[in-house]
Amino acid sequence: MNEISQAFGVAGAMIFGLDAKLIEIVLLSVRVSIVAVVIASIIGLPLGAAIAVGRFPGRQALIVVLNALMGLPPVVVGLVVYLLLSRAGPLGEFGILFTPSAMVVAQTILIVPIVAALSRQVIEDAWQEYREQLRSLGAGLMTSALTLLWDTRFSLVTIVLAGFGRAAAEVGAVMIVGGNIDGVTRVMTTAIALETSKGDLPLALGLGVILLTLVLVLNAMAYWVKEAAQRRYG
Amino acid sequence: MLPQLLQEVSFAVNGRTIIDRLSVEIAAGPRTVILGPNGAGKSVLMRLCHGLLKPTAGVIAWRGPTNGGLRQAMVFQRPVMLRRSALANVIYGMRLAGITPGECEMRARDVLEAVGLLHLSARPARMLSGGEQQRVALARAWALNPEVMFLDEPTANLDPGATRDIENIITQIHASGTKIIMSTHNLGQARRLADEILFLHQGRLVERAPVEPFFRHPGSAEAASFIRDEIP
């Protein structure tokens, strides 16, 4: 018990003392997850909108698959990306295994389904309401999709933030494809796993506190954005 | 565009007939009110005429010259407001119609002024009251300067004050040269706004008459019964 409270003390000192190593790990985490969530949004939001307004064969199957993919086990994604990027793999020539780029790839694959599936739901709900009016005004499917993306923008922000939270908190995939190399691919979650197994509790705890805070702040932001938008735009 | 001709038009969903072999020609000029009880098929008929639904049998055609585009607009029972300002809602429809941004802004302000909402033009449209939202919807349709405007029970969800505002605006729109085709189940509204009545009952056009004779001597038992059941 004493050891743990001591560890908390050291962790606090590291956080408030802006410990260089801790900062480095946090910044890499945030950088990787931001790039991943940006790419995932560029792919996932239009995909969600297209599935929401489109009518094509296999649409329902696609929705089911997309929903299922939201629960993708990160270690499986890590394994697949590892195989793709390894020397002998089809994308081995890029040589990005065990770099932050590989972690971005893995996290992007993890959160594209989340962004696409959740935005599809939100946009389709809005589409039900808007469809006749938009058609009456002469909007085609493309214009309708763009209009809906813009009109549901506040809900979509919360979805993107949820994706970021998932990316930043995930450990299995980035561990496998990043390799948890000190100073290169060590992020918050992999560092926590390593330091805990080494028995270096202060760093693990410090990172844990920051990770929790980050997730909490993201959720607060998501809630606040939606509330504020609801009050302002209805 | 006008006149619009409907020939033996039917519309069925899952084997249930909603519009039943309806034939009519709607000409330019008078305000046409489609009257009938709930479930008579008024809303479906409006959507067929506007082109939102395709008839399962029969033909709907514009008999007049269209000059490359249909100048028509529709106002729905529930106004659908986009999450942007009232002004931007009006401009949205005009941009889709291919009107240049500069012209949009000017014309949008004009129509918002005409519906008495210029002072609220910067407000988020969804934060307006139901009556104000419907006025924005009317402005959005009017801004397109349509030859025909369809209105599907535009006041069904509104209180008497808001209803009066909407009726006044519809009168103005008609005076500006737009053909009005409107559905309602409200007899008072039909008396106030209609020049001619199309009486719909169970998906069939039972009677067509100018408003005065229709209310004085309805030519069908269904219409007579519908008028008699009015709650004063």
Q: What is the pLDDT of residue A80?
A: 97
Question: What ranges in B97-220 are assigned the alpha helix state H?
Answer: 101-114, 130-142, 160-175, 187-193, 211-216
CB contact under 8 A, A133 and B80: yes
Q: Considering only CB atoms, which chain A residues are within 8 Å of B73?
A: 136-137
pTM score above 0.80: yes
User: Within an 8 Å CB–CB cutoff, is residue A143 touching chain B?
Assistant: yes
Mutate to test the interface with A, among B49, B52, B83 (most CBs of A within 10 A): B83
What residues contact B68, with CB distance under 8 A and at least 6 apart? none
pLDDT of residue A12: 87
Q: What pLDDT, on a 0 to 100 scale, did the predictor assign at position A10? A: 86
CATH of the domain at A166: 1.10.3720.10
Q: What is the ipTM of this complex?
A: 0.94
A133 part of contact set with chain B, CB < 8 Å: yes
Is residue A5 one of the residues assigned to a domain?
Answer: no
Alpha helix locations (H) across chain A? 2-16, 20-53, 59-69, 74-85, 100-136, 141-151, 153-169, 172-178, 188-198, 201-233
Predicted local confidence at residue A3, as pLDDT = 78
With respect to residue A196, please indicate whether it lies within any of the assigned structural domains: yes
**SS3 state of residue A26:** helix
Say what the pLDDT of residue B218 is.
95
Please tell me the total number of residues recorded for chain B in this structure.
232
In a domain, residue A3? The reply is no
pLDDT of B152-203, one tens digit each? 999 999 999 999 999 999 999 999 999 999 999 999 999 999 999 999 999 9
Residue type, B150: F
Smallest CA–CA distance from B128 into chain A, residue: A234
What is the predicted pLDDT for the residue at B232? 59
Which residue of chain A has the CA closest to B122? A233
Split at pLDDT 50, 70, 90, the class of A234 is: confident
Residues A156-210 have pLDDT tens digits of: 999 999 999 999 999 999 999 999 999 999 999 999 999 999 998 888 999 999 9
Q: For chain A, what is the domain count?
A: 1
pLDDT per residue over A2-26, tens digit each? 778 888 888 888 888 899 998 999 9
Q: pLDDT at position B66, please?
A: 87
Summarize the confidence of residues B84-108 as an average pLDDT: 96
Residues B47-93 pLDDT 10s = 999 999 999 999 999 999 988 788 999 999 999 999 999 999 999 99
Nearest to B82 among A132, A151, A232 (CB): A151
| H or E segment to which residue B43 belongs | helix B42-50
pLDDT tens-digit map of A58-115: 999 999 999 999 999 999 999 999 999 999 999 999 999 999 999 999 999 999 999 9
| CATH of the structural domain B1-70+149-154+180-232, one choice from 3.40.50.300, 3.40.50.1100, 3.90.226.10, 3.40.30.10 | 3.40.50.300
Q: Where in chain B is the domain with CATH 3.40.50.300?
A: 1-70+149-154+180-232
Rounded Cα distance, B229 and A185, in Å: 79
* Whole-number Å distance between alpha carbons of B219 and B113: 42
Alpha carbon distance A192, A153 (integer Å): 35
> CA nearest A209: which of A7, A2, A1?
A7
Read off the pLDDT band of A1 (50, 70, 90): low
Report the pLDDT value the prediction gives residue A233, as an integer from 0 to 100. 87
Backbone angles phi, psi at B150, to 5 degrees: -95, 135
CB atoms within 10 A of CB A184: 12
Instruction: Give the range of the structural domain holding residue A56, as residue numbers without chain letter.
Output: 18-233
DSSP B10: E
A234 touches chain B (CB under 8 A): yes
Report how far residue B18's alpha carbon sits from residue B21's, in angstroms, rounded to the nearest whole number. Answer: 10
Distance of residue B83 Cα from the nearest chain A Cα, in angstroms: 5
The answer to whether the Cβ–Cβ distance between B93 and A135 falls below 8 Å is no
